[in-house]
Amino acid sequence: MTLVTGQRIPVSLGERSYEIVLEPGSSRTLGDRLKPLIHTGKIGIITDRHVARHYLKPTVESLRQAGLDPVSIVLPPGERTKTLATVARILDVLATHRFERRSMLLALGGGVIGDLAGFAASVYQRGIPYVQVPTTLVAQVDSSVGGKTGVDHRLGKNLIGAFHQPKGVIIDPFMLHTLPRREWIAGLAEVIKYGIIADEDLFSFLEASMPELLKLDAQAVMRAVARSCEIKAEVVAEDEKESDRRRILNYGHTIGHALESLGGYRRLIHGEAVGIGLVAEADLAVHLGICGKDVATRIRRLVQAAGLPDQLPSRTSFGALWGAMQHDKKVVGGNVIGVWPVRLGEVVIRPLAQEACAAWFRTLGSPSQRRKPAMRKT
C-alpha cells in the first residue's frame, strides 16, 4: 500500500491567516491538534445527526483526552436547518454553558454545519474563534475555507451572513468514506470547477483519474482535495471579501444557483445544479464567442464522466431561469455578472445581457426537445 502523507496549505490573510491541515486520519487526533489554537478548555461541537452517528463519540473522546471540555450541539441534517432560528438555538446553548469570548466552536460536518457554526461564532459576544472539520467533499474543497458564513432566509439562500475566518481547517479525507454516493458526486462538481477556473493540469488529471476518484482511491482523492484547497486559498487570499477576483469561484453557479432554487432545493442538490451550470455556462461562453467549442466539449465530457447531470431540466423555461438568475447576489443593473472560460484554466468576468442569454437559450430547442438530466449512478 502506498503511504498517503499529509499536507499543510496556508491561507494568507494577514492577522487572520490560518492553515488547512489535510491529512488522512487527522480527525482521530483532533484534541491534540486543537489544543495549541485554544485559550480555554470550553469547546462547542456543532454537528448534525448523520455526522454525529459516525464521528461525534471519537471527537468528544479525543477532545477530553487532550484536557478540553466539549459541549455537543447535534442538529437535524440538511439545508432546512440553516436558519436564524437554529443560530438562536446554538447561541442559547453557548450562553447557558457560559461560553466566553475566548471559548471556541468546532464545526464538525458539511457546508450547512460550517456555515451555521461560523455564523454563530461571528455573532456570539461579537465574535469568538472557530475551527472547521469538514466532512463532505463540498465542505473540504469549498465551504470550510474562506470565512463566508451565514444562513438562509425564506426569501433567499445565504441572505444573512458575515465574513468570519476560522482559526484553522482540519481535513481528514477518510471521513469521506461514509458520505452518501450522491453527496460525493455532487462535490466533484466543485473540484471540476477549480480545474476550469485556474488549473488545466488539474482538469487533465480529473479527466485521466475520474474512475479512481469514483472509487475513492486515496491518492487521487488527496490530490484532488489538496489542489482544490490551494486554489481556493489563493483566490481568497487575493480577495477576501469578494470585490473582484473571488467572483471566479462562482463559475457554474449563476445557472447552478438558479436551477437549485427553481427545484426548491430538493430536486437537485447544490453540486448537481453546479454540474449543469458548468456545462451550460461553457456552452453560453461558446455562444458569446469567448471560448472554442473544444473547451465546452471537454467540460461536458468530464461532468458526464463524474456521473453528474449535464442538461437543463426539461421543464426549465427561459423566463423562469432568467428570473431566478436575477435573484443572485451577482447582479448589477439587471445584467448578470457571469464568469466565462476563455480556455481551460482561465476565466474572464463579464456581464451577461438578457437578450444574449435568451438567444443562447433558443439554441437549446424547446423544453420537450431537451432530454431529462442524465440519470444518476447509484
Ligand X SMILES: NC(=O)c1ccc[n+]([C@@H]2O[C@H](COP(=O)([O-])OP(=O)(O)OC[C@H]3O[C@@H](n4cnc5c(N)ncnc54)[C@H](O)[C@@H]3O)[C@@H](O)[C@H]2O)c1
Active site residues: 126, 148, 190, 232, 242, 246, 250, 253, 257, 270
C-beta of 46 vs 291, nearer to ligand X: 46
Q: What cell numbers appear for 157 in the block?
A: 439562500
List the one residue from 16, 28, 54, 245 that touches ligand X (CB under 6 A). Answer: 54
CA quadruple 105, 111, 115, 116: dihedral sign: negative
| Spatial contact of 76 and 50, defined as CB atoms under 8 Å apart | no
CB of 155 to ligand X, least distance (A): 15
Who contacts 371 (Cβ-Cβ below 8 Å, separation ≥6)? 311, 314
CA pair distance 55, 49, nearest whole angstrom: 10
CB of 208 to ligand X, least distance (A): 26
Q: Check residue 77 for interaction with ligand X (CB under 6 A).
A: yes
Q: What cell numbers appear for 41 in the block?
A: 478548555
By three-state DSSP, how is residue 171 classified?
A: strand
List the one residue from 24, 31, 44, 111 that touches ligand X (CB under 6 A). Answer: 111
Pairing of strands 168-171, 156-163: unpaired
CB of 181 to ligand X, least distance (A): 11
Q: Check residue 219 for interaction with ligand X (CB under 6 A).
A: no
| E strand segments, the chain | 7-11, 18-22, 42-48, 69-75, 104-109, 130-134, 148-153, 156-163, 168-171, 331-332, 335-343, 346-352
**What is the per-residue binding string for ligand X in 140-159, x denoting contact by CB under 6 A?**
--xx--x-x---------x-
Q: Check residue 173 for interaction with ligand X (CB under 6 A).
A: no
**Residue 168 phi, psi dihedral angles, 5° rounding:** 180, 160
Nearest CA to 20 out of 132, 129, 107 is that of 132
Q: Check residue 113 for interaction with ligand X (CB under 6 A).
A: yes
List the one residue from 6, 13, 19, 79 that touches ligand X (CB under 6 A). Answer: 79
Q: Check residue 232 for interaction with ligand X (CB under 6 A).
A: no
**What is the per-residue binding string for ligand X in 241-280, x denoting contact by CB under 6 A?**
-----------------------------x----------
C-beta of 86 vs 135, nearer to ligand X: 135
CB of 79 to ligand X, least distance (A): 5
Q: How many CA atoms lie within 13 A of 313 on its CB side?
A: 18
CA pair distance 89, 334, nearest whole angstrom: 38
Q: Check residue 135 for interaction with ligand X (CB under 6 A).
A: yes
CA pair distance 369, 312, nearest whole angstrom: 11
Q: What cell numbers appear for 265 in the block?
A: 432545493
Residue in the shown chain whose Cβ atom is closest to ligand X: 111
CB of 145 to ligand X, least distance (A): 8
CB of 331 to ligand X, least distance (A): 18
Cell 465542505 belongs to residue? 139
| Spatial contact of 347 and 284, defined as CB atoms under 8 Å apart | no
| Spatial contact of 372 and 314, defined as CB atoms under 8 Å apart | yes
> Judged by CB under 6 A, which stretch of 72-80, 273-281, 354-362, 365-373 contacts ligand X?
72-80
List the one residue from 9, 20, 42, 48 that touches ligand X (CB under 6 A). Answer: 48
Q: Name the residue type at position 260.
A: E
Q: Check residue 139 for interaction with ligand X (CB under 6 A).
A: yes
C-beta of 48 vs 230, nearer to ligand X: 48
# chain residues binding ligand X, by CB under 6 A: 28
Residues that bind ligand X (CB under 6 A): 48, 50-51, 54, 77-79, 82, 109-113, 115, 135-136, 138-139, 142-143, 146, 148, 158, 175, 178-179, 183, 270
